[in-house]
């Protein structure tokens, strides 16, 4: 006896081109949907995990360097800008400021004196730091000593591994786990005094690119505000009290990223919606056409004893198989694309990215697959009902 599934499979293979068109259409729609959703969730995830680890509501940088500072923070794009350390004391005196910690940024060179070029080297102040050290203490990781550093996940190093920057030999004390936030993933952290010493020695050593950083210079100040005070109000006070600096508000960075993401996500959602509509109509038309061509086959099946219900099941099963396959290829393809081109997205859009949790990802994929199958079943409903109602004799005659 021929099973319903076998019959459906044979029908689909015999009409391979039409089957492929439907599969590709559904795959495109499902892929676009997953791509948009993953992009949105991944960027939100990267922002949340990164900013919560940063633990600072405000970041003070030299005026005119807001963009490089923001890019360094979001994607870890290295840049070097400095201001005098006196700013730290001036900012600490501003009302509403709870904690201040200074950092220096150095860009590693694409030369033999560095193990890796274009890496953001961050010197932090161990006495006031509230970003890296609490993390290391919480994880019971080794705190970086004099010639040691903490490496971001993007560098793919192992604890104890030697690294060389400007011919200064370091050892990796610990590795940060991936956050999707470039400031942590594509950077290495070392005590600020080590950074000053490294810069000083770079200017005296042979075959070494000199680092133009002198003790007393800092790149940025991370600020935590007192409870009950709004970061915006403290930012205004700092701008008024300290000349020559620019204050970045963490919340502002989040909203800037959301704004930047709004247009591509809106376009993706719109294309996805249009594609779904087109695919739905195309699938319905193709299935109706395929069913119309098979009147004789349906008539013969009915004459041999197949019930109306059997015909309905057959048409719906065929549509279900096609759309499920399309949905599956779409989510697999989209997943592969976003995984493979993650770095390209991060550096072109200048956005942080971190994969959503497995539970959320599974839920997302399952709902897209369900939507695909549902679209197939709905588009097959009309031809299934219509051609199951035909009288066997009329159907055989009509198909001749």
Partner 1 sequence: MPREKISKIIALASALTGILVMLVPRYIFPVCQFYGRFIETKAGKLIPMRCFYTAQAELAVGAVIFFSALALIFARQAETRKTVSMILVLLGLVVIFLPALLIGVCKDPSMPCHAGTLPALTILGGALVILSLLGVYLARERR
Q: At 98, give phi and psi (nearest 5°).
A: -95, -50
Question: Of 278, 336, 366, 374, which lies in the binding site for partner 1, with binding defined by CB under 8 A?
Answer: 336
Q: Is 117 in the site for partner 1 (CB under 8 A)?
A: yes
CA-CA-CA-CA torsion sign (259, 101, 149, 81): positive
Instruction: Give the nearer residue to partner 1 in terms of CB position, either 14 or 304.
Output: 14
Question: Of 45, 186, 194, 372, which lies in the binding site for partner 1, with binding defined by CB under 8 A?
Answer: 186
Among the listed ranges 87-95, 267-275, 343-351, 381-389, the one in contact with partner 1 (CB under 8 A) is: 343-351
CA-wise closest residue to 194 among 181, 178, 211, 209: 211
E strand or H helix at 216:
none
Beta-bridge partners for 83: 218
353/7 Cα distance (integer angstroms): 46
Token digits of residue 75:
């994607």
Q: Is 118 in the site for partner 1 (CB under 8 A)?
A: yes
Question: Of 304, 340, 358, 400, which lies in the binding site for partner 1, with binding defined by CB under 8 A?
Answer: 340
Instruction: Give the nearer residue to partner 1 in terms of CB position, either 245 or 338.
Output: 338
Q: Which of positions 61-100 make contact with partner 1 (CB under 8 A)?
A: 75, 77
Q: Is 343 in the site for partner 1 (CB under 8 A)?
A: yes
Q: Is 318 in the site for partner 1 (CB under 8 A)?
A: no
Beta-bridge partners for 84: 217
Beta-bridge partners for 246: 61
Q: Which of positions 7-66 make contact with partner 1 (CB under 8 A)?
A: 13-14, 16-17, 20
Instruction: Give the nearer residue to partner 1 in terms of CB position, either 34 or 245.
Output: 34
In the complex, what is the shortest distance from the CB of residue 32 to partner 1, in angstroms, rounded to a whole number? 17
* Site residue total, partner 1 (CB under 8 A): 21
Among the listed ranges 170-178, 315-323, 337-345, 357-365, the one in contact with partner 1 (CB under 8 A) is: 337-345
Helices marked H in 131-249 — which ranges?
133-138, 182-185, 192-202, 231-241
What interhelical angle do 250-293 and 295-303 show, nearest 10?
Answer: 70
Q: Counting beta carbons within 10 angstroms of the beta carbon of residue 200, is it exposed (0 to 12), middle (13 to 18) or buried (19 or more)?
A: middle
Q: Which residues bind partner 1 (CB under 8 A)?
A: 13-14, 16-17, 20, 75, 77, 110, 116-118, 154, 186, 336-337, 340-341, 343-344, 346-347
């Amino acid at each position: 006896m021929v099973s319903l599934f076998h019959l459906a499979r044979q029908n689909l293979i015999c009409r391979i081109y039409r089957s492929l068109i439907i599969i590709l259409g559904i795959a495109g729609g499902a892929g676009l949907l997953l791509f948009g959703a993953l992009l949105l969730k991944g960027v939100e995830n990267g922002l949340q995990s990164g900013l919560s680890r940063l633990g600072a509501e405000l970041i003070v940088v030299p005026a005119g360097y807001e963009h490089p500072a923001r890019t360094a923070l979001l994607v870890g794009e290295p840049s070097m800008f400095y201001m005098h350390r006196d700013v730290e004391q001036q900012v600490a005196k501003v009302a509403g400021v709870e904690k201040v910690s200074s950092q220096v940024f150095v860009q590693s060179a694409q030369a033999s004196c560095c193990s890796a070029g274009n890496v953001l080297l961050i010197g932090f102040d161990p006495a006031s730091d509230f970003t890296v050290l609490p993390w290391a203490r919480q994880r019971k990781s080794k705190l970086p000593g004099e010639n040691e550093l903490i490496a971001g996940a993007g560098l793919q190093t192992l604890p104890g591994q030697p690294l060389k920057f400007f011919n200064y030999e370091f050892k990796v004390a610990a590795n940060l786990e991936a956050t999707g936030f470039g400031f942590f993933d594509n950077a290495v952290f070392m005590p600020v005094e080590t950074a000053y010493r490294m810069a000083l020695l770079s200017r005296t050593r042979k075959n070494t690119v000199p680092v133009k950083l002198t003790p007393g210079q800092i790149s940025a100040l991370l600020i935590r505000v007192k409870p009950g005070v709004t970061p915006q109000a403290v930012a205004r006070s700092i701008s008024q009290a300290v000349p020559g600096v620019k204050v970045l508000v963490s919340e502002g960075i989040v909203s800037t990223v959301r704004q930047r993401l709004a247009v591509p996500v809106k376009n993706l959602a719109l294309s996805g919606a249009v594609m779904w509509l087109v695919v739905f109509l195309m699938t319905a038309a193709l299935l109706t056409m395929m069913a119309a061509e098979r009147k004789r086959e349906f008539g013969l099946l009915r004459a041999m004893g197949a019930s109306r219900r059997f015909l309905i099941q057959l048409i719906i099963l065929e549509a279900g198989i096609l759309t499920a396959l399309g949905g599956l290829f779409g989510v697999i393809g989209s997943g592969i694309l976003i995984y493979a081109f993650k770095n390209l997205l991060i550096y072109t859009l200048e956005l942080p990215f971190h994969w959503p949790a497995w539970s959320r990802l599974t839920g997302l994929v399952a709902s897209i697959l369900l939507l695909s199958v549902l679209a197939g079943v709905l588009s097959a409903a009309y031809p299934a009902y219509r051609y199951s109602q035909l009288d066997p004799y009329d159907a055989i005659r009509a198909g001749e």
